[in-house]
Structure 1
Amino acid sequence: MNDSGPAESPAASAEEKDPNEEVGELVGRLVQADELEGGERRRLLGRLTKALADGGRKAGASGVGRGRWLADVFLSIAPRIPIRDLATLSEHHHGLTGEQLADDLVRTAQKATMTVGAIGGALAAAEFAAPPLLLSAPAQLVAETIVVAAVEVKLLAELHAVYGIDVPGTGTQRAVAFAAAWSKQRGIDPLAPASVTLALGAATKTALRNRLMRTLGRHLTTLGPFLTGAVAGGMLNRAATKKLGEAVRADLRIKRPALPRPAGSAELES
């Protein structure tokens, strides 16, 4: 470290902390916000929009084509997405296990992403008659995209727990691996441990950027008059999350470890 410059004051250090810290905190609250009222959800989404707009300006990102910056932000907050283990999932879903638990996880995630799309669409509809306010629209779309992606990554990761797929690595490595799997819309192969360590490769980053930009493009439908954006945004998110859940579950059923056959099963089959 170069000590020749003037010492930073505590206030300056606080101002220059990682701008993604607030983004990660807000996303973490939004992805497990079942107990939040609509007004609080909108407030958090508004704060997230502002934080992302500020971060984008500081990073020199501009327009809705800020794909590389968007991917970098998402990778930085991915380790903050709260992922539950199997016991906690079962407890939170009234003791459900197996396919019934997976069904409930997908339904819950669909509801969450549909709500994000509806809230974003309603905000856009309210601003539609005020063109100056539409200058903030790209940041709002980025906020919706980040939250929906986080909800779906959380779903994908927790489905791995339901189907008994153990993903090795540190918390950060696992988070990146789940984000990479989300970009490809499939599960992680437990027999290919290199998939975790290679998750930060250039090809993976490109795939993640492309997936995030597709999701961002979907949210362009929220920029419509009246409540058309709210309806379209909510329904498109719900359908996309359902499709992801179906694809990942089908993949994990193939990849999950073989369960031990119960005693006497051979006799029962004969």
Structure 2
Amino acid sequence: MDTPAPIARRRTAVVRDGIKEGLKTGARKGGERARAGLAYLTDRIIEMAPRIPVRDLATLRAQFPGLGPEQIADKLVAGAANASSTVGAGVGAAAMLPTPPAIPAELAAEITGVAAIELKLIAELHEVYGARPPGNLRQRSTAYLDSWSGERGIDVIKPTTINAALGGQMRRQLRQQIMKRTVRNLPNLMPFLIGAAVGAVMNRRDTKQLAERIRRDLRRAQVPWDALLELPPLEKPADPLPLEELPKELGEG
């Protein structure tokens, strides 16, 4: 007949093993949900990219008369950094998509809102530096996604094709970029003002750092304005992202 002590030890072992198994199952399911959430956001950002209104070089020069490429680029970066710092819970992208699995709606709004700002910035920086990628609207949008996910300028001599850009490599890069933004923006979910303040500072800092990396690449491939062949106006998106969903600092496309 078992004594109370061995019975207690067996019960403890059963409970311990049950907890371990539960933690493993929970971690596995949590990982699956997180991957599903990242895949969902990746798809939404890919769908959103061609809808972002972009100003072409002629429009930018008209809006910033008398300024050269570096001065206009400084203006664009300052506007985007200010805009990304004001993107918060429930602003902008919250109206664009339902809540993805395992990612709070506020965080999804933050990530997609900042992505829209930075994609617009990247496209307009390429205009300013005379490095518009070839192709139609969707092909250029795909190239800008590749630039955003890899945090680098586009090599217009070796443009990324749509098939290659939307393949596994770029989707992996997009998921990694979204994961980085997810971790970065978690303070914005804190129920105190400090959370929003920290998130705003990080948004501004990261947008500026991204812009500097892009500009460093673009300067190496820069084409002076007077050496540019006359560029046709950029085609407008058939279903543009409503301008009220983009911060006013970014201007119209």
Matched pairs, number? 187
1:148 and 2:105 correspond: no
Q: TM-score under structure 2 normalisation?
A: 0.67
**Contact 1:105-1:155 within 8 A present in 2 as well:** yes
| Cα 1:184–1:84 shift into 2, 3 Å | same
Alignment partners' CA distance in 1, 2:131 and 2:210:
17
In the TM superposition, what whole-angstrom CA distance separates every residue of 1:165-184 from its partner, at most 9, and x where no partner exists? 02111111111110111001
Counterpart of 1:193 (choices 154, 159, 165) is 159
Displacement of 1:195: 4.8
Partner of 1:112: 83
1:202 and 2:168 matched: yes
* Cα deviations by residue, 1:106-137 (Å, 9 ceiling, x for unpaired): 00000000011xx3399xxxxxxxxxxxxx97
Q: CA deviation at 1:213?
A: 1.7
Structure 1 residue 211: deviation in Å? Answer: 0.4
TM-score, normalised via structure 1 length: 0.63
Q: Distance in 1 between matches of 2:172 and 2:146?
A: 10
Q: Does 1:91 align with 2:57?
A: no
Which residue pairs with 2:245 in the alignment? none
Distance 1:156 1:94, change over 3 A: same
Name the residue aligned to 1:77: 48
Whether the aligned pair in 2 keeps the contact of 1:63 and 1:138 (CA below 8 Å) is no
Partner of 1:234: 200
Q: 1:40-87: CA deviations, max 9, x gaps? A: xxxxxxxxxxxxxxxxxxxxx956861111101110111001111011
Q: Deviations over 1:206-226 (max 9, x none)?
A: 101110121122110112232
Identify the residue that residue 168 of structure 1 maps to in structure 2: 134
Would you say the 8 A contact 2:39–2:175 is kept in 1? yes
- Which one-letter code corresponds to 2:168 in the other structure? A
Distance verdict in 2 for CA 1:167–1:95, change over 3 Å = same
Between the aligned partners of 1:260 and 1:63, the Cα distance in structure 2 is: 49
SS at match of 2:165: coil
Separation in 1, partners of 2:108, 2:188: 12
Cα RMSD after superposing both structures: 2.6
Relative to structure 1, the CA distance from residue 194 to residue 175 in structure 2 (aligned partners, 3 Å threshold; closer, same or farther) is: closer
Which structure has more relative contact order (CA 8 Å, sep 6+)? It is: 2
- 1:245 alignment partner, one of 192, 199, 211: 211
Q: How many percent of aligned residue pairs carry the same amino acid?
A: 44
| Matched residue, 1:12 | none
* Deviation (angstroms), 1:89: 1.5
Q: Report which stretch shifted further, 232-241 or 86-95.
A: 86-95
Deviations 1:216-245 (A, max 9, x none): 221101122320111011000000000011
Structure 2, gaps ≥5 residues long: 1-31, 92-101, 228-253
1:101 maps to 2:101:
no
Distance 2:138 2:90 in 1: 32
